[in-house]
Amino acid sequence: MTSKTAPPPSARERILQTAHDLFYLEGVRATGVDRVIAESGVTKVTLYRHYPSKNDLILAFLDYRHERWMAWFDAALRRHGDDAAALAPALHEWFAHPQFRGCAFINTVAELGPALPAAGERARAHKRAMQARIAALLPAGAAREASARALAVAVDGAIVRAACDGAADDALDALRATVAALTAKKSR
């Protein structure tokens, strides 16, 4: 009997996965290209053939992170009821992960500032997508977009607080309170 296994990842995929893990866990500035090369098992020529500069690799990391995180976020929200109350338990899953290190987009923008404007653009696009997904949790109505914006800010605050505190309880309690306050307004 032959076993069907996935083909090994391409050099491009290995580079991107390695950069993703290192950039997220250790930061984009702290992670040099030589480290990505060594840990992905490629040559410098191969890395630069796929990603002509570290900035290109950073942007690819952000695109990759966006796709992975949004897919996870959507699935987690669905697992927990797919309404606004699902935000806290969904985030609790992420915060409990041993490699949780906050939001890759907030971290990257904080690290790079205006040095890589395209990273800021990617972060804003990610936050718009996250806010749109949160809006889908809320009932239609005049206050939907304002409530989604407030909840998106509360989610970001909870992420930052959980990363800074090293514990999620206070952050999640505050998020639950925000969800309750915003959803109670809608039902009146």
Q: Give me the pLDDT at residue 1, please.
A: 52
CB 28 within 8 A of CB 57: no
Q: What is the pLDDT of residues 32-89, one digit of tens each?
A: 999 999 999 999 999 999 999 999 999 999 999 999 999 999 999 999 999 999 999 9
Q: How far apart are CA 170 and CA 6, in angstroms?
A: 42
**Single-letter amino acid code for the residue at 77:** L
Q: How far apart are CA 55 and CA 96, in angstroms?
A: 30
CB 133 within 8 A of CB 149: no
DSSP character at residue 6: P
In percent, the amount of the chain with pLDDT more than 90 equals: 91
Single pTM value for the model: 0.91
Q: What is the pLDDT of residues 131-157, one digit of tens each?
A: 999 999 999 999 999 999 999 999 999
Closest to 26 measured CA to CA, from 119, 96, 111 = 111
Q: How far apart are CA 76 and CA 20, in angstroms?
A: 21
CB 91 within 8 A of CB 77: no
Structure token pair of residue 123: 């972060």
In percent, the amount of the chain with pLDDT more than 70 equals: 96
Structure token pair of residue 10: 């391409």
